[in-house]
Structure formats: structure tokens, C-alpha cells
């Protein structure tokens, strides 16, 4: 439903141009959860920002067969975003009621008269008490704020929800509740989710497809079970080895010792720190290899 093709993003640092996303392609099918996982600084949020059009990029972003050029109101109705820090994305001066009303009115979801009842049902759907809407964001807990952010996003019936580190900063038990809420709503409402996280347990638990990103390039992608049970790329293995194997709602991040940096002309993004590096990785063009019709890996030593 949403295709990203050959995405490139660069930022200026002084006189230099630094490429943060390099020729990246990603596909979000209808009614699927796609997990994007990688360490901090790998470019995950940059991809989300390119999709919603708040940064410059080259490449194609295609929604239901049409290249997105101008993002109109309809685009933002179809593609909604949930951020890590909901407090920062909700106007602190407004009541929750006003915060929720805004998109419902903008996108003409229901008539003004029908809004109170609509919000009442919305609160039920995200597991909050009705009277919470009288409060302001600062009067809510992190978990409650995240539920409000989810309520606001789903109120306009989006086709895709982009959730950038949606559980980060929440307590373990609250995290588990929000995970359950995501699963429930995804099952009921038939929208796709692009789930962005460095938390492998979370990604592994929720996603239908997993994309592993390293330094702005996809190094492995496949169906959930292909990635969880048959990891091929050394970076994917490292990421998964360095996190607990079961979902415990715990923060986890792959720790790669980036101090052992090798100088190399290889086009493999992992070559500077890869333990399996050999001269062949430098001689050959490292392209994606097919493991199955849905599983691909960018490493020459996998077959
Ligand atoms: N506006 C910007 N100007 C310059 N550099 C930027 C800008 N935004 C991001 N970057 C750089 O781009 C790289 C990718 O950043 P990005 O925020 O996409 O990473 P991330 O994978 O989301 O990390 P995290 O897990 O910490 O959120 C980083 O090196 C970051 O410093
Ligand atoms: S291609 Fe070579 S350097 Fe790159 S990940 Fe595979 S083994 Fe490591
Ligand atoms: Mg980020």
C-alpha cells in the first residue's frame, strides 16, 4: 500500500553533505505491521519524516499506486503518526477534549453534534475513562498520554499509522498494555503500522515483516519468522544476541563495538566493523541476496 523506492536523504553539516539514508526501499502492505529496527542514529526517524514530507529527500514514495507529490489534507488523514514523546506533540494549553476534536472537525469525520458521543466511544476503544477528556496533557501519565495520541490518530480512520518509538520511556507493565492496545486496534480497524523501534523484542513480537537498518541502509528484511528464526546478516545476529530472547517489555538495544573501525572501500555498510570481513567483501559489489521470495540479506557470506 505504501512503497518507498530508492530513498536518499542527506543533511548539511558545515560545508559537508552527510548522507543519512542511502538508496533505501521499503514496502508496507495493506493491513500489516512492518517493523523497522536498528540502533540509534541509523536513520529510522528520518524515514518517517520523509514519508510525512517534513524533510527534503530524493526517491519515490508511492501510496496506493500514486507517487506522493503534494501532501494534501487527504494524505494526512490516511497517514497518521504517533511519536515517542506524546507530551511534546499534544498542545499543553488545550484540554484533551479540544485536542481530540481538532482532527475530527478538520477531516469532517462526524458532525459537530455527534462529536461528544464519538469521543466517548473513542475513549472506550483506547481503554480510558470518559471524564479524562476534561483534563490537560500535563495532568496525564505517560501511558495515558500515549493512549490519547493513539486515540487522536485512529479517530480519522487512517490507512497507515507510523509509530516512532511509541513505547519508549514507558514502564514495563504500561508498555505491555500499550502493545496489547496496538494489537487490538490493528485487528479491529484494518490499518497498517510502520513500527519504528530499537527494541527488538517489541519489533519481533508485533511485526509481520521486519526490516533491519544499519547506517541508513537495509541489511536484512523478511517475514517475522524468517528474521527471528533464520537471521542471516551478522548485524541482525548481533542485534538479536544482545537482547533478551523473549518479550519482557524491556528496553534493549544492540551494542556493536564501533570502536574497531576498519578502513575499507567495500560498499557494504557493515564492513567497517564486521567480524566476518574478508577481502572478498571489498572486491565484490555487495548487493541484496535472495534467501526466499520474502527474505533478503545484504551480505555475501550467507549462502
Ligand atoms: N535535521 C538534521 N540535521 C542534521 N543531521 C540530522 C538531522 N536529523 C537527523 N540527523 C542525523 O541523521 C542520522 C539519523 O538520525 P535519525 O533521527 O533518523 O536516527 P534514528 O534511527 O531515529 O535514531 P534514534 O533511535 O536515536 O531515534 C543521525 O546521525 C542524526 O544525527
Ligand atoms: S558482506 Fe562482508 S563485511 Fe559485509 S556483512 Fe557480509 S561478511 Fe560482513
Ligand atoms: Mg528516532
pLDDT at 286 over 90: yes
Q: Which three cell numbers stand for residue 173?
A: 507493565
Specify the pairing of strand 16-28 against strand 33-37. Answer: unpaired
The residue whose grid cell reads 526490516 is 211
- Nearest ligand to the C-alpha atom of residue 235: 2
Is the minimum distance from the CB of 301 to ligand 2 under 6 angstroms?
yes
Closest to 228 in 3D by CA, of 257, 202, 190, 253: 202
Closest to 249 in 3D by CA, of 200, 182, 186: 200
Q: In this predicted structure, what is the pLDDT of residue 252? A: 36
Specify the pairing of strand 79-82 against strand 160-164. Answer: parallel
d(CA 69, CA 56): 12
What is the helix (H) or strand (E) element at residue 118, kind and residue range?
Answer: helix 115-125
Is the minimum distance from the CB of 268 to ligand 2 under 6 angstroms?
yes
Percent of the chain with pLDDT over 70: 93
Is the minimum distance from the CB of 299 to ligand 2 under 6 angstroms?
yes
d(CA 42, CA 50): 14
Provide CB contacts within 8 A for 295, sequence distance 6+.
221, 222, 223, 226, 227, 230, 232
Higher pLDDT among residues 195 and 259, named by residue: 195
Residue nearest to atom 26 of ligand 1 (CA): 40
Q: In this predicted structure, what is the pLDDT of residue 243? A: 57
- The C-alpha angle with vertex 227 and arms to 226 and 231, in degrees rounded to 5, equals 105
Longest pairwise C-alpha distance within the chain = 70
- pLDDT tens sequence across 133-177: 999 999 999 899 999 999 999 999 999 999 999 888 888 888 888
DSSP bridge pairs for 161: 80, 193
d(CA 123, CA 130): 6
- pLDDT tens sequence across 39-91: 989 999 999 999 999 999 999 999 999 899 888 888 889 999 998 776 777 88
Distance in angstroms between the alpha carbons of the first and the last residue of the chain: 31
- Nearest ligand to the C-alpha atom of residue 287: 2
Q: In this predicted structure, what is the pLDDT of residue 259? A: 54
What value does the mean pLDDT take over residues 18-31? 96
Q: In this predicted structure, what is the pLDDT of residue 251? A: 36
Q: In this predicted structure, what is the pLDDT of residue 299? A: 97
Weakest-pLDDT range from 32-36, 119-123, 257-261, 294-298: 257-261
Residue nearest to atom 8 of ligand 1 (CA): 46
d(CA 20, CA 121): 42
Q: In this predicted structure, what is the pLDDT of residue 22? A: 96
- Nearest ligand to the C-alpha atom of residue 18: 1
The residue whose grid cell reads 469521543 is 119
Is the minimum distance from the CB of 215 to ligand 1 under 6 angstroms?
no
Q: Tell me the average pLDDT of the chain.
A: 89
Percent of the chain with pLDDT over 90: 71
d(CA 143, CA 149): 10
Q: In this predicted structure, what is the pLDDT of residue 241? A: 76
Is the minimum distance from the CB of 43 to ligand 1 under 6 angstroms?
yes
Neighbouring CB atoms inside 10 A of 132's CB total 16
pLDDT at 38 over 90: yes
Q: Residue 45 Cα, ligand 3 centroid: separation in angstroms?
A: 4
> What pTM does this model have?
0.91
Atom of ligand 1 nearest to the CA of 165: 27
- pLDDT tens sequence across 213-261: 999 999 999 999 999 999 999 999 988 776 544 333 333 334 455 556 8
Q: In this predicted structure, what is the pLDDT of residue 246? A: 38
Atom of ligand 1 nearest to the CA of 198: 25
Higher pLDDT among residues 243 and 94, named by residue: 94
- pLDDT tens sequence across 201-224: 889 999 999 999 999 999 999 999
Strands (E), 29-114: 33-37, 58-63, 66-67, 79-82
Q: Residue 57 Cα, ligand 1 centroid: separation in angstroms?
A: 14
Amino acid at each position: 500500500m505504501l512503497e518507498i523506492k530508492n530513498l536518499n536523504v542527506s543533511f548539511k553539516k558545515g560545508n559537508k553533505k552527510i548522507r543519512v539514508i542511502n538508496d533505501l526501499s521499503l514496502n508496507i502492505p495493506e493491513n500489516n505491521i512492518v517493523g523497522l529496527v536498528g540502533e540509534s542514529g541509523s536513520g529510522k526517524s528520518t524515514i518517517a519524516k520523509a514519508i510525512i514530507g517534513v524533510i527534503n529527500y530524493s526517491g519515490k514514495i508511492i501510496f496506493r499506486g500514486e507517487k506522493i507529490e503534494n501532501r494534501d489534507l487527504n494524505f494526512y488523514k490516511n497517514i497518521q503518526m504517533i511519536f515517542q514523546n506524546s507530551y511534546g506533540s499534544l498542545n499543553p494549553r488545550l484540554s484533551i477534549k479540544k485536542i481530540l476534536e481538532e482532527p475530527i472537525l478538520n477531516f469532517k469525520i462526524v458532525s459537530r453534534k455527534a462529536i461528544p458521543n464519538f469521543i466517548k466511544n473513542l475513549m472506550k476503544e483506547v481503554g480510558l475513562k470518559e471524564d479524562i477528556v476534561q483534563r490537560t496533557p500535563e495532568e496525564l501519565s505517560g501511558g495515558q498520554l500515549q493512549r490519547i495520541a493513539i486515540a487522536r490518530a485512529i479517530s480519522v480512520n487512517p490507512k497507515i499509522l507510523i509509530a516512532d518509538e511509541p513505547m519508549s520511556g514507558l514502564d514495563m507493565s504500561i508498555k505491555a498494555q500499550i502493545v496489547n492496545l496496538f494489537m487490538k486496534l490493528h485487528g479491529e480497524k484494518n490499518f497498517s503500522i510502520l513500527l519504528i523501534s530499537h527494541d527488538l523484542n517489541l519489533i519481533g513480537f508485533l511485526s509481520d515483516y521486519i526490516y533491519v537498518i544499519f547506517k541508513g541502509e537495509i541489511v536484512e528484511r523478511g517475514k517475522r519468522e524468517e528474521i527471528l528464526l533464520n537471521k542471516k546478516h551478522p548485524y541482525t545476529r548481533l542485534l538479536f544476541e544482545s537482547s533478551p530472547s523473549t518479550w519482557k517489555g524491556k528496553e534493549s538495544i544492540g551494542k556493536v563495538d564501533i570502536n574497531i573501525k576498519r578502513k575499507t572501500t567495500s560498499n557494504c555498510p557493515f564492513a567497517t566493523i564486521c567480524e566476518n570481513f574478508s577481502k572478498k567483501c571489498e572486491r565484490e559489489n555487495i548487493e541484496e541476496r535472495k534467501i526466499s521470495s520474502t527474505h533478503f540479506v545484504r551480505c555475501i557470506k550467507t549462502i
